[in-house]
Amino acid sequence: MIDGKKVLFSGMQATGNLTLGNYLGALKNWVTLSDEYECFYSVVDMHSITVRQDPATLRKRARNLLTLYIAAGLDPKKNCIYYQSHVSGHAELAWILNCFTYMGELNRMTQFKDKSAKHADNINAGLFTYPVLMAADILLYQADVVPVGVDQMQHLELTRNLAERFNNIYGDVFTVPEAYIGKVGAKIMSLQDPSKKMSKSDENPNGSIYLMDDPDTIMRKCKRAVTDSEACIRYTDQQPGLKNLIDIYSACTGNTPDQTVAEFDGKGYGEFKLAVGEAVVGVLKPLQDEFERLSKDKAYIDAVIKENAEKANYYATKTLRKVQRKAGFPDRIR
Active site residue 115: yes
Is 25 a binder of ligand TYM (CB under 6 A)? yes
Among 92, 105, 151, 193, binds ligand TYM (CB under 6 A): 151
Catalytic residue (choose from 5, 78, 113, 197):
197
Is 244 a binder of ligand TYM (CB under 6 A)? no
User: Which of 51, 295, 12 lies closest to 147, judged by CA?
Assistant: 12
Active site residue 200: yes
- Measured CA to CA in angstroms, residue 282 lies from 117, 211, 244, 257, 277 at distances of 37, 12, 18, 18, 9
DSSP string of 33-93?
Answer: HTTTSEEEEEE-HHHHTTS---HHHHHHHHHHHHHHHHHTT--TTTSEEEEGGG-THHHHH
Among 8, 33, 93, 134, binds ligand TYM (CB under 6 A): 134
Q: Which of residues 251-310 bind ligand TYM (CB under 6 A)?
A: none
| Nearest position to ligand TYM, beta carbon | 25
Give residues with Cβ within 8 angstroms of 206, minimum separation 6.
Answer: 191, 192, 221, 224
Catalytic residue (choose from 6, 187, 200, 326):
200
Is 137 a binder of ligand TYM (CB under 6 A)? yes
Give the per-residue contact string, 27-46, with ligand TYM (x = CB under 6 A; - = no).
-----------------x--
* Binding-residue total with ligand TYM (CB under 6 A): 24
Least Cβ distance, residue 106 to ligand TYM (angstroms): 14
Active site residue 78: no
User: Which of 257, 268, 263 lies closest to 231, judged by CA?
Assistant: 268
Is residue 12 within 8 Å of residue 27, measured between CB atoms?
A: yes
Catalytic residue (choose from 28, 115, 221, 243):
115
Output DSSP code: residue 10: E
Among 8, 26, 65, 320, binds ligand TYM (CB under 6 A): 26
Least Cβ distance, residue 321 to ligand TYM (angstroms): 21
- Positions annotated as catalytic residues are 115, 197, 200
